[in-house]
Chains A and B, each alone.
Chain A
Amino acid sequence: MKVNDIVTKLSLEVLCGDTSREAGGCYIGDLLSWVMSHAKCDDVWITIMSNSNVVAVASLVDAACVIIAEGVKPDPEIIALAQSKDICLLGSEKTAFELAALMPEL
């Protein structure tokens, strides 16, 4: 399933990046070291964190995209940073649970 299809299905806001990538799974977490040990390449990563380290971690684990949940709004600098690192950032008012419940099978 493409990130783009998830954007449509979950009514996500596209903050930046390329949504044409294929998503292979989903991981939810806010503790960055935990995410680095468990998230896989091509995962959709759902988090409520929105600082610059999120961009670095998304890049290191090679996530397909990051969904920033619960209406948390990243600063414009963070969106610009993500853009420069080719990270797709998405936003949603929904909780991580609600997003996961709506997530199609990956």
Chain B
Amino acid sequence: MNEVLKLHYDVDGENFTSAGDASVNVKKKLRQMGFSPDVIRRVSIAMYEGEINMVIHACGGEVDVFIYPEEIDIILADKGPGIADVELAMKEGYSTAPDNIRSLGFGAGMGLPNMKRYSDEMKIESKVGAGTKITMKVKVAGE
């Protein structure tokens, strides 16, 4: 585990147009490093969902990505409103996204379920009024 690449991104909570840039950047890096299309897809989609949630629900935040040969860890941290009922938020179809956000194509309530589905491990730590920290691990399956 000595070959580690660390990436850090600040996610701007105001800017919808640039939302997703960090994930697309990670995707490019992983591709350059020669990870399999499956790993690249899982990491970039899981991270994108987290990034978009930060913009929509938490006024932005920070993402740290640690790339090891055998796994990729993604840590999303924000100082937003927090999630009162994590179990409910994890349900497919549950969304508090307002109408203006829905008109952009978000609000299916599938983001957190996608993050769970595309990662091998996911942990949500959230405190109402303080913020949310989501840690995801994507394992690189050996040949």
B partners with A: yes
Residues 37-92 of B at the A interface (beta carbon under 8 Å): 37, 41, 44-45, 48-49, 52
Across the interface, do B105 and A56 meet the contact criterion of CB distance under 8 Å?
Answer: no
Contact with B along A34-61 (1 / 0, CB 8 A): 1011000100000101011110110111
B53 shortest CB reach to chain A, Å: 10
Q: Is B137 among interface residues, defined by CB-CB distance under 8 A? A: no
The DSSP consensus for interface residues of chain A is helix
Which residue of A30, A34, A49, A62 is within 8 Å of B41 (Cβ)? A62
- Which range contains the number of B residues in contact with the other chain? 20 to 34
A56: nearest chain-B partner, CB-CB = B20
Q: How far is the CB of A53 from chain B (nearest CB, A)?
A: 6
Interface, chain A (partner B; CB < 8 A): 30-34, 36-37, 41, 47, 49, 51-54, 56-57, 59-62, 85
Between A and B, 8 residue pairs with Cβ closer than 8 Å are A34-B108, A36-B48, A41-B41, A49-B105, A56-B23, A56-B48, A59-B27, A60-B44
